[in-house]
Amino acid sequence: MICVGSVGIGRYASSILGSTATELAEKAHCPVAVMRSKVDQPASDINWIVVRMTDAPDNEAVLEYAAREAKLRQAPILALGGRPEELREIPDGEFERRVQDWHHRHPDVRVYPITTHTGIARFLADHDERVQLAVIGGGEAGQLARLVGPSGHPVFRHAECSVLVVRR
């Protein structure tokens, strides 16, 4: 795993981020974590880990990394599912079945399923949930700048969230 910090991410996040973190996330042959933190933010104030359930080939690995991080951080997971336009679709009933399977495999992880037709970046822009980590697949690495974004910008209320890009 490669971990990079978010120093320098500011007003022009996509151009600054594009030169380092996004490049790593898109081309690395291992997982890449872009770590963000706000020193003045109480840890209990940012608690969710967010992940999207899709039928992409690497999604099982993405879900396993999310579960592992949830255990380490003792954090609940928001599992997004549905039929988003930018990601592959999950057939009807499959989302619920996969959430149940996940509960059986990881009974010590609290999973809260959310049916939505948007990806993680759009979901976070539309909702006020405080997220400490977004876990995405390698095929979604191009969303990194949208997920990390400049802190303080109204579109990026969740900008203190770190992102883990999972590669097999």
Residues facing residue 32 across a β-bridge: 2, 165
Does the structure show a pLDDT above 70 at 66?
Answer: yes
Please say whether the beta carbons of 120 and 50 come within 8 A. Answer: yes
Domain ranges within the chain, ordered by starting residue: 2-166
Q: How far apart are CA 159 and CA 149, in angstroms?
A: 6
Diameter over CA atoms, the chain? 43
Rounded mean pLDDT of 60-82? 93
Does the structure show a pLDDT above 70 at 38?
Answer: no
Please say whether the beta carbons of 26 and 141 come within 8 A. Answer: yes
For residue 152, which amino acid is it? G
The dotted CATH code for 2-166 is: 3.40.50.12370
Q: How far apart are CA 153 and CA 155, in angstroms?
A: 6
Query: Does the predicted model carry a pTM greater than 0.75?
Result: yes
For residue 24, which amino acid is it? L
DSSP-based three-state secondary structure for 82: coil
Q: Enumerate long-range contacts of 91-99, CB under 8 Å, 24 or more apart.
A: 91/55, 94/55, 95/53, 98/53, 99/53
* CB atoms inside a 10 Å sphere around CB 43: 10
Banded model confidence at residue 107, pLDDT cuts 50, 70, 90: very high
